Amino acid sequence: MTITTGLQLSSLITAEGELRLSLDDVAIPAPRADQVVVRIEASPLNPSDLGLLLGPADLSTIKAGGSADRPTVTASVAPAILPSLQARLGEAMAVGNEGAGVVVDAGDDAKHLIGRTVALLGGSMYSQYRVMKASDALVLPEGTTAAQGASCFVNPLTALAMVETMRAEGHTALVHTAAASNLGQMLNRICIADGVPLVNIVRSEAQAKILTDIGAKYVVDSTTPDFRTKLIDALMETGATLAFDAVGGGPLAGQIIAAMEVAATRKMTDYSRYGSTTHKQVYIYGVLDLRPTEIGRNTGMAWGIGGFLLTYFLMKAGPEVGQRMRARVAAELTTTFASHYTSEISLAEALQPEIIAAYAKKATGEKFLINPSKGL
């Protein structure tokens, strides 16, 4: 089958501060000898995709336009934010970090892959077709669906990177926030399998239940009055001194470090005005809360906080570690690394204002999957 054009979702922010989402026909080049053409059938809407897709647009200003099969959406971006977006202004950005689909065409060296379902990482996945090097495609076991393989990279590798980081930096247990997310559930399965104590911080009883149902031992709810006490107890018991935080802004990261410090000083016998010598670390990998991160003066002196990005981790860890992590994902794709989606939408549906409002909420327990082959 020779494919010559396909639809691609693109996100543009103009110099005047208007976000424009559209579906554009793009040319699909004939594959080179080592390339495959993949018909994308499943690509998740991860928080990291939303950042590029919607940028910092004010969603209360959203307006639909275009036609039924070529819809467009516009929304305003506050002028004060535009300077920080300088490098993307006026550029149509393709979106979608990862996805999966079926190989429909291939160059001479990759013909054997035609018909196979593969998983891809590399951007522009909210597209009908994607041309990539065959060696960059993760060939999924026979019988695996595109939906099952859609989230092979971002969440599974991030969850594994947390455990890798824990070991590399000398910690023996973990704390995770927004812990009932797809990623959080994966992390629980990894930690249970690997015997790593994991303290899950959630924001509702319903989220706590999701985790206890899959066997989580330590679940604390930050909306209850005894949150601090319960957190300290769990930290005393697990000895966790490393947290991965998806909330980012507000007081939570500081509260976690302070609670770790209380747990550490309770184990000390001598007073030191510098607090415990135990190093306490939080890595922020998400920003569900856009306020500034606040760190109080109750951390002792041995603490750190910083940004965490899978890409930077993989660069630092090196190819061997990355390869080991990918192999585990492929082997445990439908068990440890299974993702669950609450809605499957087409490219056109992804540009409907009410659907945008739903996925932009990033509600824990809700997860959207784009199927670029749907409804076309």
Residues that bind a copy of itself (CB under 8 A): 51-52, 55, 84-88, 91, 93, 248-249, 251, 254, 265, 268-274, 277, 287, 290-309, 311-312
Nearer to a copy of itself, 76 or 265 (CB): 265
Measured on CA atoms in the order 315, 100, 193, 201, is the torsion positive or negative? positive
* Long-range contacts from 120-123, C-beta under 8 angstroms, 24+ separation: 120/38, 120/40, 121/97, 121/152, 121/153, 121/154, 122/97, 122/98, 123/94, 123/95, 123/96, 123/97
Instruction: With beta carbons less than 8 A apart as the criterion, state whether 72 and 7 touch.
Output: no
Nearer to a copy of itself, 81 or 321 (CB): 81
Nearer to a copy of itself, 3 or 85 (CB): 85
Angle at 253 between CA 249 and CA 255, to 5 degrees: 120
Give the DSSP H/E element, type plus range, for residue 331.
Answer: helix 319-331
Nearer to a copy of itself, 295 or 338 (CB): 295
Residue 67 C-beta: closest distance to a copy of itself, Å: 29
Integer CA distances (angstroms), 203 to 130, 273, 339, in order: 38, 34, 21
Measured on CA atoms in the order 282, 284, 285, 286, is the torsion positive or negative? positive
Residue 148 C-beta: closest distance to a copy of itself, Å: 28
How many whole angstroms separate alpha carbon 215 and alpha carbon 212?
Answer: 5
Nearer to a copy of itself, 300 or 372 (CB): 300
Nearer to a copy of itself, 218 or 244 (CB): 244
Residue 257 C-beta: closest distance to a copy of itself, Å: 10
Nearer to a copy of itself, 1 or 87 (CB): 87
Residue 59 C-beta: closest distance to a copy of itself, Å: 17
Residue 371 C-beta: closest distance to a copy of itself, Å: 24
Tokens of 233: 């107890």
* Long-range contacts from 314-317, C-beta under 8 angstroms, 24+ separation: 314/157, 314/161, 317/161, 317/164, 317/168
Residue 299 C-beta: closest distance to a copy of itself, Å: 7
Nearer to a copy of itself, 215 or 307 (CB): 307
How far is residue 191 CA from its own chain's centroid? 18
Residue 356 C-beta: closest distance to a copy of itself, Å: 18
Residue 281 C-beta: closest distance to a copy of itself, Å: 8
How many whole angstroms separate alpha carbon 226 and alpha carbon 251?
Answer: 16
Do strands 35-44 and 368-370 pair parallel, antiparallel, or not at all (unpaired)?
antiparallel
Strand ranges (E), 309-367: 343-345
Angle at 165 between CA 162 and CA 166, to 5 degrees: 85
- Residue 135 CB burial class (10 angstroms; 0-12, 13-18, ≥19): exposed
Residue 351 C-beta: closest distance to a copy of itself, Å: 19
Nearer to a copy of itself, 85 or 104 (CB): 85
Nearer to a copy of itself, 65 or 296 (CB): 296
Residue 89 C-beta: closest distance to a copy of itself, Å: 9
Alpha-helical regions (H) of 47-177: 47-54, 146-149, 154-168
